[in-house]
């Protein structure tokens, strides 16, 4: 392992396959442009998909040479009309064959120095953000695995080029926590006892 220069802080992914999947989804989302609906993806083990669903894998361009340890992203159906992705994630529990998940959302962000000015009411806060002169539009792609790894990529509309994408393991902790919670294997019987 090469020693890094003192003071250099590089955030390396704990799961390179997840990082690769998130960055591939980000590139895919970028080709659709802005003002897109939120999207949700199941991440499955590519080798397992090739072995268990050869017809589906072939239609996706996957074959026996699929890399071990890589993930294939499978876009889920559209979110229910009028529901925020965050609310949908609170209700999802993935089956064991899904080893990870990823979400794509577009949001308005404000600089931290205006946090104290944001109204408490969610509707008023949304209006405040939409009208604020320092607002930025951002596309977030966040992913998590059943094993607890996380990764995210962010693209600002004002800097809409591949070289300006920011990525790392802890960029959107709230969304990442929601994605991780979809792997809680608590059954209703366990909750009631």
Report the pLDDT value the prediction gives residue 189, as an integer from 0 to 100: 40
The DSSP element (H or E) to which 107 belongs, if any, is strand 100-109
* Tokens linked to 158: 């004002």
Q: Which residues of 6-24 are buried (b: 16+ CB within 10 A; e: fewer)?
A: eeeeeeebebebbbbbbbb
> 193: pLDDT confidence band, cut at 50, 70 and 90?
very low
17-62 per-position pLDDT tens digit:
999 999 999 999 999 999 999 999 999 988 887 777 767 666 666 6
CA distance linking residue 39 with residue 41, whole number of Å: 7
pTM greater than 0.85 (yes/no):
no
The pLDDT score that the predictor gives to residue 149 is 94
Q: What is the DSSP letter of 147?
A: T
Concatenating the DSSP letter of every residue in 175-188 gives HHHHHHHTT----H
CA dihedral 146, 176, 168, 95 (to 10 degrees): 30
37 vs 119, higher pLDDT? 37
């Amino acid at each position: 392992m090469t020693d890094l220069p003192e003071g250099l802080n590089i955030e390396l992914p704990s799961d390179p396959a997840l990082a690769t999947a998130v960055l591939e989804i980000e590139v895919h989302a970028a080709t659709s442009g802005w003002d897109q609906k939120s999207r949700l993806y199941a991440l499955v083990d590519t080798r397992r998909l090739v072995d268990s669903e050869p017809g589906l894998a072939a239609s996706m361009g996957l074959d026996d040479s699929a890399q071990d340890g890589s993930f294939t992203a499978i876009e889920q159906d559209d979110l229910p009309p009028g529901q925020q992705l965050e609310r949908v994630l609170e209700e999802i529990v993935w089956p064991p064959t899904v080893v990870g998940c990823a979400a794509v959302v577009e949001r308005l962000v404000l600089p931290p120095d205006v946090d104290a000015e944001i109204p408490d009411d969610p509707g008023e806060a949304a209006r405040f953000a939409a009208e604020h002169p320092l607002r930025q539009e951002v596309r977030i792609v966040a992913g998590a695995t059943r094993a607890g790894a996380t990764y995210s990529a962010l693209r600002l509309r004002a800097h809409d080029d591949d070289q300006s994408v920011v990525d790392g393991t802890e960029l959107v902790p709230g969304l990442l926590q929601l994605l991780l919670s979809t792997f809680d294997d608590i059954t209703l019987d366990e909750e009631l006892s």
